[in-house]
Amino acid sequence: MRETGGRAISTVFDVTLCLLLVSASAFVIVGAQSAEQISNNKRSTAESTANVLVTSTAEVNYTIRTERESLSRRNYGTFAGLLTEAAVANTTVYGSELTRTSGVFETAVENTIRERTAAGNRTSAHIVVRWRPYRNAHIRGVTSIGNSPPHDATVHAASLSVPSGLPVVRDDAVDAARRNGYRGVARVVATGIVSGLFPKHSTSIALRDRTPVADSVAGRFRRLRGRYDADSLDDGNDGDGTGTRQMLVRTMTTAVEFELRETFESPEEAARSVSVGRAELVVRTWSM
């Protein structure tokens, strides 16, 4: 995704790194079909809603407030793409959030989608987007709109695989499994995650940007150092963040390798589970 004004840096980087760089209740969706059409075709409501999410587009405007200033940001994309970016922005490591203010973007996305859909339909929906770089990963992100359906409701569901905005590395992981086993798969996964969350060019720009931006990126590096016990990180003071990214890859590789060995019976099975570049979008619908 690129923001529609200003520098062309992805919103995934914007929100997941520091929310400074650039780019709820039961939820009712009408989507591409009228309320009458959906009422007459209940079995297709989940699929229809998913179709709306991947084909409809919107612009999201939000404001990031720091100790020094407020920055107005905007981003344009499909509903599904915006939700996925919000999920990645909510990335946690061992349950601890990496970005304390990712809720600003997440709320803006939710409000925008709600405003762009019509009320009055008798079908409710619960939408969840989950990003996991591999099964049972300790690093993951999720966002959702709406409450879970009532226990006595007849629920219809649809699931889609959507791009996460991070590199697609499964083929590389499969090759690495043959050559270097679990360690090779872990390094491919770690490299994909770090390069996706810390793009080299964007990080370089951020560290040379306005002071609040550079300070926030440095703070992000410190938080990741704490999550992975990377005590030798230099907090991004190496100019373009290259040293920091390399250290993150090394420390994350160790953590990921341990988890892969605990979860999968073979390196090949672990490699087939890799989904750094994909996220899962699940829609559940039911009649009110």
Give the pLDDT score at 67.
Answer: 64
Is residue 145 within 8 A of residue 110, CB to CB? The reply is yes
Answer whether residue 148 is part of any domain: yes
Name 274's Cβ contacts closer than 8 Å, sequence gap at least 6: 133, 134, 169, 170, 173, 185, 188, 189
Same domain, 159 and 175: no
Answer whether residue 197 is part of any domain: yes
Same domain, 112 and 158: yes
Q: Which residues in the chain belong to E strands, given as ranges?
A: 27-28, 57-65, 70-78, 92-93, 96-97, 123-131, 139-145, 156-163, 278-287
**Residue 6 to residue 8: CA distance in whole angstroms:** 7
Residue linked to tokens 């990080």: 203
Same domain, 119 and 175: no
Same domain, 157 and 28: yes
Give the pLDDT score at 208.
Answer: 59
Name 205's Cβ contacts closer than 8 Å, sequence gap at least 6: 7, 9, 21
Is residue 109 within 8 A of residue 56, CB to CB? The reply is no
Same domain, 21 and 160: yes
Give the pLDDT score at 217.
Answer: 59
**Residue 182 to residue 110: CA distance in whole angstroms:** 38
Same domain, 35 and 177: no
Give the pLDDT score at 236.
Answer: 44
Is the pTM above the cut of 0.85? no
- Write out the residue range of the structural domain in which residue 235 sits: 170-273
Give the pLDDT score at 57.
Answer: 94
Give the pLDDT score at 247.
Answer: 82
Give the pLDDT score at 243.
Answer: 65
Same domain, 120 and 27: yes
Give the pLDDT score at 269.
Answer: 98
Same domain, 151 and 127: yes
What total of structural domains would you count in the chain? 2
User: pLDDT in tens for each of the 288 residues of the chain?
Assistant: 433 343 333 444 444 343 333 332 223 333 334 444 444 454 578 898 899 999 999 999 888 776 667 777 788 999 999 999 999 989 999 998 877 667 888 999 998 888 776 544 556 889 999 999 999 999 999 999 988 999 999 999 999 999 999 999 999 999 999 999 999 999 999 999 988 887 775 555 555 555 555 555 566 666 776 788 765 544 444 444 556 678 889 999 999 999 999 999 999 999 999 999 999 999 999 986
Give the pLDDT score at 96.
Answer: 87
